[in-house]
Chains A and B, each alone.
Chain A
């Protein structure tokens, strides 16, 4: 029983990260700086929504209370969402959006690669499906980080400002608690220290190539994994949940 609730919690964190970031990226629809990037950001959003659906379906199955992916995605209160604070941060300018994406992609890729080896079959299958998409997202975000960092004076300054702002949220990506430890002990999920080392290697090499710097200060924010969110989350959810709250059980 303990293992099941830990697995439910673990999968919900993955799905909430995907859903909330997808919602943020969707806000760019029709507002991208160039048409190609408008399309790119919404394509990435769509991939993340697809991953979230598979993950919520699996979480619902593990939970066994008859909830479906729409109920999990739309009908919970703010403190029941367990996404990291990073993904709920406002889009800001294009540099802020792409740096947020880069930090997330560089985390998700090694995590999915490791989860492909999980003995939890459905989780391994979702990871194997999603890893290909995530690799493509990371390629896209890394190329932009380099293009902006090693670009003009203004693009460099904006990219560095985005890093300086977002850095405080990155440590939470590697949050662990009793749920993670129970699953790790059973050999079902990787340790976050392992993922963090791979994340750091990617971040260091891409930022170096981009002539950008890792901030010196180590100020760390967290709380999202425990349901304590930043002020932005409530506004985001009111947009996200509006249709289901106004028209319960609606379908397209």
Chain B
């Protein structure tokens, strides 16, 4: 008989299709896992409302569980409480940095309409002398930065609170 812990371990093997170094558990989108009427329910919180990766994650997750001999699983999307980048694990942040994406930094006042762009350090050379190029980037979760020290253009995983 599989347990909830087994399933959580299996989900460690499912990666984010857009940032393949991250697993969905690193990303912090997996919530409750429970058995209901002989079916395993896996609760997932979407990162961004329109993130196209969420559909692929569902497909990959169910395929992984099937491969592990669990065909009776179902994904349930839950909106509340809303996902925040605070749920990305420490291991996940480290992986992002090594992959060349600056992990989210704590931006205290997200409600201010105007504020200085967050100070993000370059994932290549660690310099704090970087600038925001654009509020938006290659995917919904990222902004575009450039390092003034080593000139490296890089993605910043936006802080979402």
Contacts and interface: CB of A to CB of B under 8 A. Distances in A.
A53 B55 CA distance: 13
Interface in B107-154: 110-111, 113-114, 133-138, 140, 144
A133 B133 CA distance: 19
Interface stretch (B6-14, B26-34, B77-85): B77-85
B46 A140 contact: no
A129 B49 contact: yes
Interface in A129-146: 129-130, 132-133, 135-136, 138-140, 142-143
A114 interface: no
B98 interface: no
Interface in A22-80: 36-37, 39-40, 43-44, 46-51, 53-54
Interface residues of A, number: 33
A117 B135 CA distance: 29
B51 interface: yes
Contact of B49 (A50, A124, A206): A50
A61 to B, nearest CB: 13
Interface residues of B, number: 26
A131 B158 CA distance: 15
B161 A132 contact: yes
Interface of A: 36-37, 39-40, 43-44, 46-51, 53-54, 121-122, 124-126, 128-130, 132-133, 135-136, 138-140, 142-143, 202, 206
Given A39-B138, A132-B160, 8 more contacts: A36-B134, A44-B136, A50-B48, A51-B49, A53-B49, A128-B82, A129-B82, A136-B135
